[in-house]
Chain A
Amino acid sequence: MQTIFVSRGSYRRGRELAERLADCLGCRCLSREDVIEAATQHGIPVGKLEEAVVKRRPLTEALGLLAERYKAFVTMTLCERVLEAPLVYHGRAGHLVLPGVQHILRVRALTDVEDRYDGVVDRLHLSREKAKQYVGQVDDDIRRWIRTMYDLDINDPALFNLTVNCSKLTVANVATALVSMAQLPEFTATPAGERRLENLLLAARCRLVLADDPRTRDLNAQVRADSGSVSVTYPPRQSAIADAVGEVLSGDAEIRQLRCTVAASTILWVQERFDPESATMASLLDLAGRWDAAVDVVRLLPETEGTDAVEPVVAEAAPSLSGGDGGILDDAGVMASDSDDGGVRETVHRLIQAGRAGAQCNVCGGQQSLIGSLCNVANVSLVVVDELFLSRGEAIRKRLTRDLAGRLGERLRVPVIGAEELRTRYLFGAKQWLQLLMTGGLTALLYFGVFTHQEELLAFLRSQGTTERVLAVTVVTLTAPLVAYLWGTAAHNLLRLVRFE
């Protein structure tokens, strides 16, 4: 059962290519326009969302919820269709909607920009200059849409299995090539992949039901599902709304268990192997408690021969861990088995005990795969990376970890730190006590010096000679940041000490 998602952007023959592919594979063809029409009929004002993005409006709380509602609808629709029968979908960001489902062939179809100008000139009867502006505007709108909805760059080639420049190729030949690629074993549906789709479908359906119901419409919830177990995470200020979640979702017969967790944010913990008794675990629980955060456990498996080019294999799971992760590798037994899950099971169990369990996923295929897998994780405040690339030498391990931290920080735009930094920067230990005493002491000394010599200081600040003026300026411009740093650090540590963060 083959499924192909074509990201066509504004390439005008993308539709033709998708329909040709559907003919060749003997399956249905679904377009972005079909999904939007269905969403509009469902009562989702997609036009309002598009207008906000095109007109460059920052997303308000209400628009953010609308975006989540639309994404849930699209995810649900695509999951249903893919589970029903083979499918060719064409649109803008279909390749981003079902993360971690490996057997979908994700293709970017584009053409030379000069061809596109010609096309616009022919189709809309515009001058070439106007056509250039038009194409630029359309590309800008699409890029903005994907950035707003998924916080990703459409031009990132790592998001696709294949990018095809159709300028010098006929649609028929491109379709033939893609069909043969879709026949490869990596793009054949597996039970694990279907399980992953079912989880995504259940989570999206629950999210949509919550967004549709007036009682929970304003709930800023993250919904995850695993084999009928649904986890709804919401911020503390919405505790009152969250009380209605159970009632609203009671109509879904596929929900076996429902868990509601309050979380202000998410902390991602990325390692190759986990130890629930480790100091990092204790530090993370402490920090998650302070922040009311959920901890997502992400196991990055080493790249092995033959898996380097494979797309991320992801398993989101809740407390009861499944070995499944939705990819062909899982069926082949490459992924963690029950006997060696890298300590994930015990770690998640410990997190559940502390009421801090978020999602859990396994990622195979290196840095790029990890970054691709994490693109849809919302509300992340911090990423902790440690104990990675364990099969490599120490120097290489450090370099790769540093490189990964840099790329994750760039993509997620949150601090990415190591376990050691977690203890020193975010938690209160001996080092922080020392820092508090030192900065507090130095601040006190500085203030004592200034306020016991007020008249001399004021005379100095108003002194008239050139040298004296330069000195006065230097003293003022150096003292202000010094005091801000010293007292700022001391005050920050004091507030951390009383858990006021």
Chain B
Amino acid sequence: MQPDAILGLFIHLSWSTAAQVVMLGFIGGVLSGFIGSGGAFFMTPGMMNLGVLGPIAVGSNITHKFGKALVGSRRHGQMGHVDKKLSVFMLATAAIGIRLAVWVMKLMFHDGGDSHATARGAGADLYISVVFVVILAVVSISMLRDIVSSRRAEGEFGPSRKIVDFLNRFRLHPMIYFPVADVRVSLWVVMICGLATGYLAGTIGVGGFIGVPAMIYVFGVSAQVAAGSELYLAMFMGAFGALNYALEGMVDLRLTMLLFIGSLVGIHIGAYGTKVVKEVVIRLATAVIILLCVISRLVATPVYLRKLGFIRFDPGYDTLFQAVSKGLLYASGIGGTAIILYFVFRAFFERRKIRESLAVGRVEQAAV
């Protein structure tokens, strides 16, 4: 391939674009550390808004996720939050899911307007956007409904157990016991969830949004073990995904490295946030941030539809749609991160104050 054609596939990186990618990584990292998912729901569309082609944004992000998961799962493992058996069982079918996703993506990339200069990759972009909108809309609305219904029903905020209880009635054999998670789940259910997780990780780079809720809502695993095990699974899925995308030449290593700069700092700050913010606030913030990301992607879809000839409007409006989409995405990410940072720094300074007071002497109340 000629150098010009290669540069046409990969974006030109100015200082400003590079800074925006670092910022995307930072916000994705904060959200990732705070809500336990990979943060790809923000970073992938964010890169697409910067002009990165959809498959390259997914490929670069999945490679970034692989490296991050490798480091993160080690830390979770030290804390005993990883059920390796569960991850390995899910991995078996997740690998098939990823391979399938890459194959579909390649098909879309070449058949969906790749030959036309203005519509290059529009088919793949549209496909990614539709999957993104459908899946994440379901996730965020379910989370909001769950928060509202559990508050109304019991005055407490536990995740719904309806699916677990429903599946437990059937006991589809063979049932497998997972010792760290302390649950017994049908092998078939694990395999289906693994396949879906892998397919989505390969399609939009967001496996965690299926993997973590599946473990919590379908298997009945605690939130901490779900997050740790998903990260362990993500390490292998990320490696497999990165390998597949790299094989197709769809990884921009520069973007991956820029994402790392922000995300590996942000993830620590987000994780700190989980210690100082109430569980219900974490879930509420997650649901709202995801919903805004969904709306942002929805706004960008008419551009792809126009490029593919499904609808017609003045191409001059493309800029408007892109700007609104970008604005919404940034508003959700920056707004969510700002709220998290507010809680984090408030707690950080409170702790400093407490530490200073303790250094003077005991915090002792008067004898009763």
Contacts and interface: CB of A to CB of B under 8 A. Distances in A.
A243 to B, nearest CB: 9
A475 B242 CA distance: 11
B350 A492 contact: no
Contact of A236 (B182, B269, B347): B347
Interface stretch (B108-116, B120-128, B192-200, B360-368): B360-368
A392 interface: no
A250 B366 CA distance: 11
Contacts of B164: 55-56
Interface string A229-251: 00000001101000001100110
A258 B239 CA distance: 55
A60 B368 contact: no
A136 to B, nearest CB: 10
Contact of A487 (B158, B254, B261, B350): B261
Given A292-B354, A491-B265, A60 B242 contact: no
Given A355-B358, A501-B272, A476 B279 contact: no
Contacts of A259: 362, 364-365
A500 B269 contact: yes
Nearest to B245: A476
- From A144, A414, A447, A458, residue with most partner B Cβ within 10 Å: A458
Interface string A211-231: 000000000000000000000
Contacts of B326: none
A133 B80 CA distance: 31
B279 A55 contact: no
A388 interface: no
A252 interface: yes
A446 B257 CA distance: 10
B367 A257 contact: yes
Interface stretch (B204-212, B217-225, B296-304): B217-225
Contacts of A491: 264-265, 268
Given A352-B362, A472-B246, A58 B222 contact: yes
Contacts of A92: none
B155 A62 contact: yes
Contacts of A56: 161, 164, 168, 183, 220
Nearest to B9: A462
Contacts of A484: 67-68, 70-71, 260, 264
A488 B368 contact: no
Contact of B216 (A58, A249, A501): A58
B256 interface: yes
Contact of B362 (A256, A355, A459, A473): A355
Given A414-B80, A484-B68, A292 B246 contact: no
Interface in A464-501: 464, 469, 472-473, 475-477, 479-485, 487-488, 491-492, 494-495, 500-501
B16 interface: no
Contacts of B358: 262, 289, 354-356
Contacts of B362: 259, 261, 352, 355
Nearest to A469: B247
A161 B193 CA distance: 45
A171 interface: no
Interface residues of A, number: 76
- From A48, A55, A237, residue with most partner B Cβ within 10 Å: A237
A458 B264 contact: no
Given A414-B79, A473-B247, A292 B365 contact: no
Interface string B48-91: 00000000000000011011101100000011100000000000
A60 B67 contact: no
Contacts of A354: 358-359
Contact of B79 (A60, A249, A252, A415): A415
B320 interface: no
Contacts of B268: 491-492, 495, 500-501
Interface string A194-217: 000000000000000000000000
Contact of A237 (B6, B159, B276): B276
Contacts of A260: 363-365
A450 interface: yes
Contacts of B222: 58-59
Given A292-B351, A355-B359, A58 B158 contact: yes
Given A481-B66, A483-B67, A62 B254 contact: no
Interface in A402-457: 409, 413-415, 446-447, 450-451, 454-455, 457
A472 B67 contact: no
A495 to B, nearest CB: 5
B315 interface: no
Contact of B257 (A356, A447, A462): A447
A229 B168 CA distance: 49
Interface in B131-172: 154-159, 161, 164-165, 168
B158 A473 contact: no
Interface string A244-285: 011001101001111111101000000000000000000000
Top 9 closest pairs, chain A to chain B, by CB? A484-B67, A413-B80, A355-B358, A62-B156, A480-B67, A60-B158, A476-B246, A58-B222, A56-B220
Given A259-B364, A461-B253, A487-B264, 8 more contacts: A57-B158, A236-B354, A261-B363, A289-B358, A413-B80, A451-B13, A461-B249, A472-B246
6 contacts: A57-B220, A246-B365, A458-B7, A491-B264, A491-B265, A495-B265
Interface of B: 1, 3, 6-7, 9-10, 13, 63-64, 66-68, 70-71, 78-80, 154-159, 161, 164-165, 168, 182-184, 216, 220-223, 239, 242-243, 246-247, 249, 251-254, 256-257, 260-261, 264-265, 268-269, 272, 275-276, 278-279, 347-348, 350-351, 354-355, 358-359, 361-368
